Structure 1
Amino acid sequence: MGFRRVFDILLHQAAHYPQKNALSLKKGHRQVVFSTHHCLQIVEELSAGLLDLGLKKGERAAIFADTGSPEWNFIDLSLQKIGAIVVPVPAVVSTEDLLFILKDSEAKICFAGSPDLCRRVQAVRASLVHLKYLYALEPVPDMPYWESLRTLPTEQHLRKFNTYKAVLHEDDWATIVYSNVDGMPRGAWLSHKNLIHNVRALIKLYGLNCDQRVAGFTSLGYLPERLLVYAALAVGASVFYGEKGRGNVRWMGEAKPHFIVSSPRIPEEWIEKKQKKAADGTTFRQRKTKWAIAVGAQYPDAGQWTLAYWVKWRMARFLVFRKWRKEWGGSLRGVLVEAGFLPPSRVRLLTAIGIPVFEFYGPSAAAGLVCANAPGNLKFGTAGKPVPETYIEIQAPQESGTGQIRIKGPQVAQRLEPPAGENSTSITPDGWLLTKDRGRITGDGFLEITNHDFMGVRASLGEYVSLQTIEYQLNATPYIAQSLVLGFERPFLSALIVPDMVRLKARCLSEKIWWTSPRYVVLDPQVRALFQAVIDEQNKAYPAAWQIQKFTLLAEGWEEMTTEPTPEWAPSRAGILKKYHKEIDKMYR
């Protein structure tokens, strides 16, 4: 394939697969469409404006946005075109982490995606000596708009573009991706070569081509989402971005995408809504939905189908699943979800519905993709097999075959900063990436993630416990908005739980439980009994070391999420632990 650097991708599309609809954005009731030619024109004009601003090769530029958009792509590709290093900042970061990332990366310019995000950058700007410019991606009063940078390229600009095209190498830095490690952000410096290797792997794994459509469903600050969009642009697949809104699938019927990247929470919440809607319906509807979900959760692996199951599945599809599938556009061939967070039964159910989920694994330090399930090469409950030219080993495996995952391949970063502790993710002199994640390789070569250790602890019984896996499952249950599971250097697991006050109020009123205000309701014995039942049900799915023994209900949550948190950007634990240390200490007395 004729592209070696990220900024070559759009030129490659223009040469081989020019599209009338290369990028599009849903705005209210209309679709804003950009052709390949229009995209190239905007990128050139924006690159010229960035050069006039004084941005140079190797300088850093941050993009702080809560959703993906064509504007995000234009700015990203324009920065890459002149050799600048792109620093995506997840919208879920705390103010403290935002300050750290902008300061650590020495970002010279920042593009902020919404008025609220602009205000957050403005609040810390006085502490950022390197940050010279701040532009808004949406019109914001008294703030320069990104389009004001667009400049008609002159002969001098074009000469500079040709110079950069000649001198920029595939080993030059393309982006710095920060993830939350040990309670603090840490940046993986990735080259064009790191990213392009995984872009080509996605194209090969899923057979992406110019007749397909990809939907931008999460933030482009999430590296796997960015890789899928790059892959789509490379093969001429149309990329659709929807309206803002966490996990909003309403516009999917119009986009009819073939592939998306999703946070694990989005399909979980969608299924939960379906269950709730059925529970409010007739008895027949309740029983029909419950039966169909039970059938879907038993969806078999390839080669293990029986005639009896096939008949039940066809009936479930006719009665329930065919309508559900249409809500996701009806054309999906793959929903890419990070492995280790969705229960296998959920993955089977979604696949049975006609929403095929392919779990993958890839830390930021390996450019977001190391192994993946794919059509014809799928095993539920695993992260799939290594992508081409990638090696995975299990270091110091236990009797069960479980151990620390280490990775080697063209996608592995050569630089991680700032240096972290002795037990953190690191890169050996011979190029092996030592992750904090634990897993095992099955007999048929699939990687099974047993613990994402960036949110894991070793329990008192000696077993590794993935706190984030438990949190994801708690947050997917009714009445829980946020949760934080504790267990590091503790005799048992406990949890801080923030109820979903809207649903809890409705439940209290229906059961004649006195409702006053959140601060008093969380102390009510009947409310505590309701959450104890939720915890008890959750505990049934886990061994003893993974079960929550005590919990505390909180009247208000931690910092509000503006977008769906991705696995490596859960809320900062350090700040929450500090704020609620009295409540935590009380549970362990």
Structure 2
Amino acid sequence: MITISRVFDLLTYNKQQHNSVDALAGKVNGEWVKYSSNDFITTVNEVSRGLLQLGIKKDDKVAVMSPNRPEWNFCDFGIMQIGATQVPMYPTLAANDIKFILNDAGVKIIFVADQLLYDKVNKIREESNLELSIYTFEKIATLPHWTIVQELGKQNHHIDLEPYKSLIGPDDLLTLIYTSGTTGTPKGVMLTHHNLISNVMYSSKLYPSDVKRALSFLPLSHIFERMVCYMYIYLGISIYYAESLETIVPNLAEVKPHCFTTVPRLLEKIYDRIVSKGHELTGIKKSLFFWALALAHQYEMEGANGYLYEMKLKIARKLIFSKWRDALGGEISVIVSGGAALQERLARVFWGADIKILEGYGLTETSPVIAVNGPFKGQCKFGTVGHVLENLEVKIAEDGEILCKGPSVMKGYYNNPEATAEVMIDGWFHTGDIGVLKDGFLAITDRKKEVFKTAGGKYVAPQVLENKFKESIYIEQIMVVGENRRFPSALIVPNFDHLKDWAVKNDIEFTTPAQMIKSEKICDKIWQEVNRLNENFGNWEKVKKIALLADEFTIDGGELTPKLSMKRKVILMKHLDLIEKLYKESDSLEKHV
């Protein structure tokens, strides 16, 4: 059996052990195009030979800037198996970040998705006089297509790739991943073959053996989805790429996946949609729906609620929750959630519905998984991110920060020894997250940099508050503020769909979101929700003022990172006047502006 020490060894292993007919699949002109294990290897080898003919050498940097598609993988593996370094770039990157990355990494070739991205990168190439070749994945008559590289490889099929592979060691650089730049200049995280392989091997131990087909829609530019796809290749799980975030529902129905990875934001939207459908029901159907929902909210692991509860749950699963599963394709076995904190009530509800949600935790710098809940007995605990992987060490510093050591921790930040020294201290990587270890399970309480102190000297963890407030069906997004202020306040984007239903039932005319946030009755409704959910917090951390926003935080708007985390500084600066108004009026009796 082949020894897997470098990421490209996974392809040979996949062919030997699984020989899949649909190792990869993407949708083209309405039809799923499937690639077998053999197709995968053949195309990757052609890309490698083509790159060699174009002069790409070991340690050269080649970028990929595209949504998920099989070509992303072909280029990724084609780059890595000749010793070059792949630089993934989000399609949503701003021009200044693109320019910085291309210059800092010294990228020689970039593969982009389409005309829009080509034009964006080409403008920067011309303005900065970069020696950079650009190829597109979409076929555009006037532009160089990626198959030019592939054809070049076919014409030089005599090139033996083994000597190139033999020069690549486990500790050689695999990829250079730039952070999203939420706190300033992007930093290039250097990850080796060994970093990723160690994470693949130990994460895969927690995956159910009946999983054979996955739907992928989180960006491969992020290490979370990329590592998971490497794991799928190792386990012989077929990867089907969703056409876009907008087509996930029909793609689920077509692919009928056994698994997918997601971020909490999307799970929240799925849950809200399901509850909205429940409100549309009438009579006995509506009563049964909300009976089942209440039952799922009480779910405890491994039959802890007793025989009677389990019998009721069995009925609820058959009558109600089977439809939830059908909406996810009907064959879902497990969903892995990462990238941000998952509300405990959501995990509990989905498990109650017989849909296993496994929350995990990690960072780009740790390849990424540090801890993850498992699907088997004793492996999952609500309110935590699971057990630390067996090959990693974790300890909690005196100030509560999570420190990590192990084979999946990065080599460092590219061209930035100062930033590396800030986070790598005495062999321990400082995550910047605050957490606790409970009975072997790791729980995250907040980001160290996001915890703030009020004017009264009290510490507030905004993420804990935000997750609690998002339990309200009337709150879509929320950011808690209050650093050096007398008390915490919050910027809230209401869930206007639910508010519209509420308004109709209460004889309130619903017009536009911009008008609705000015309505005193709407503001009072949101404040009632905040007041209700404030109840279990200490007086110093309770949100005492709110401001409503009409527009959602988005990636395009610059308020969210590509993995849908809030860019707090950006949001703070955009709404600084509104926040100032909140605190100027803090002595009034009003609780919102």
TM-score by length of 2: 0.87
Give, in whole Å, the separation in 2 of the partners of 1:420 and 1:536: 47
Structure 2 partner of 1:31? 32
Give, in whole Å, the separation in 2 of the partners of 1:476 and 1:130: 49
Give, in whole Å, the separation in 1 of the partners of 2:234 and 2:579: 50
- Matches for 1:79-478 after TM superposition, within 5 Å: 79-122=79-122, 124-126=124-126, 128-130=128-130, 132-140=132-140, 142-153=142-153, 158-159=158-159, 161-180=161-180, 183-184=183-184, 185-208=186-209, 212-246=212-246, 248-302=248-302, 304-338=304-338, 341-374=341-374, 375-376=376-377, 377-396=379-398, 403-417=400-414, 419=416, 426-428=423-425, 430-442=426-438, 444-453=439-448, 455-459=450-454, 465-468=460-463, 470-471=465-466, 478=473
CA gap 1:151/1:462 in 2 versus in 1, 3 angstroms: farther
Structure 2 partner of 1:497? 492
Q: Secondary structure at the match of 1:134?
A: strand
CA gap 1:71/1:287 in 2 versus in 1, 3 angstroms: same
Give, in whole Å, the separation in 2 of the partners of 1:49 and 1:305: 61
Structure 1 partner of 2:591? none
Give, in whole Å, the separation in 1 of the partners of 2:415 and 2:494: 36
Give, in whole Å, the separation in 2 of the partners of 1:371 and 1:479: 32
Structure 2 partner of 1:400? none
Q: Secondary structure at the match of 1:215?
A: strand
CA contact under 8 A between 1:366 and 1:413: conserved in structure 2? yes
| Range 573-582 or range 225-234, more displaced | 573-582
TM-score by length of 1: 0.88
CA contact under 8 A between 2:51 and 2:153: conserved in structure 1? no
For CA contacts below 8 A with separation 6 or more, give which structure has more relative contact order.
1
State the 1:251 CA deviation. 2.2
CA contact under 8 A between 2:445 and 2:463: conserved in structure 1? no
* Structure 1 unpaired stretches of 5+: 398-402
State the 1:77 CA deviation. 0.9
Give, in whole Å, the separation in 2 of the partners of 1:406 and 1:319: 46
| Range 4-13 or range 488-497, more displaced | 488-497
State the 1:427 CA deviation. 0.9
CA gap 1:488/1:87 in 2 versus in 1, 3 angstroms: farther
Count residues in correspondence: 580
- Matches for 1:512-527 after TM superposition, within 5 Å: 513=508, 519-527=514-522
Partner letter of residue 147 of structure 1? Answer: T
CA contact under 8 A between 2:340 and 2:565: conserved in structure 1? no
| Range 281-290 or range 375-384, more displaced | 281-290
Structure 2 partner of 1:551? 546
CA gap 1:433/1:131 in 2 versus in 1, 3 angstroms: farther
CA contact under 8 A between 2:63 and 2:111: conserved in structure 1? yes
CA gap 1:380/1:273 in 2 versus in 1, 3 angstroms: same
Give, in whole Å, the separation in 1 of the partners of 2:232 and 2:562: 23
Give, in whole Å, the separation in 2 of the partners of 1:548 and 1:424: 37
Partner letter of residue 396 of structure 2? Answer: I
RMSD: 3.3
CA gap 1:519/1:295 in 2 versus in 1, 3 angstroms: closer
Partner letter of residue 315 of structure 2? Answer: M
CA contact under 8 A between 1:216 and 1:241: conserved in structure 2? yes
Q: Secondary structure at the match of 2:153?
A: coil
Give, in whole Å, the separation in 1 of the partners of 2:417 and 2:567: 17
State the 1:426 CA deviation. 0.5
Give, in whole Å, the separation in 2 of the partners of 1:568 and 1:418: 25
* Structure 2 unpaired stretches of 5+: 585-593
Measured against aligned partners, the alpha-carbon deviations of 1:322-362 in whole angstroms (never above 9, x if no partner) come to: 11112223333321112862222211111121210111111
CA contact under 8 A between 1:61 and 1:84: conserved in structure 2? yes
| Range 49-58 or range 430-439, more displaced | 49-58
* Residue 588 (structure 2) pairs with residue 587 (structure 1): no
CA gap 1:506/1:317 in 2 versus in 1, 3 angstroms: closer
Q: Secondary structure at the match of 1:441?
A: strand
Q: Secondary structure at the match of 1:205?
A: coil
CA gap 1:131/1:554 in 2 versus in 1, 3 angstroms: farther
Partner letter of residue 226 of structure 1? Answer: R
Partner letter of residue 259 of structure 1? Answer: C
State the 1:260 CA deviation. 1.8
Counting aligned pairs with the same residue, the percent is 30
Partner letter of residue 586 of structure 1? Answer: K
Q: Secondary structure at the match of 1:72?
A: helix
Partner letter of residue 382 of structure 2? Answer: F
Q: Secondary structure at the match of 1:42?
A: helix
Measured against aligned partners, the alpha-carbon deviations of 1:505-533 in whole angstroms (never above 9, x if no partner) come to: 67656755556665544333233234323
Q: Secondary structure at the match of 2:250?
A: coil
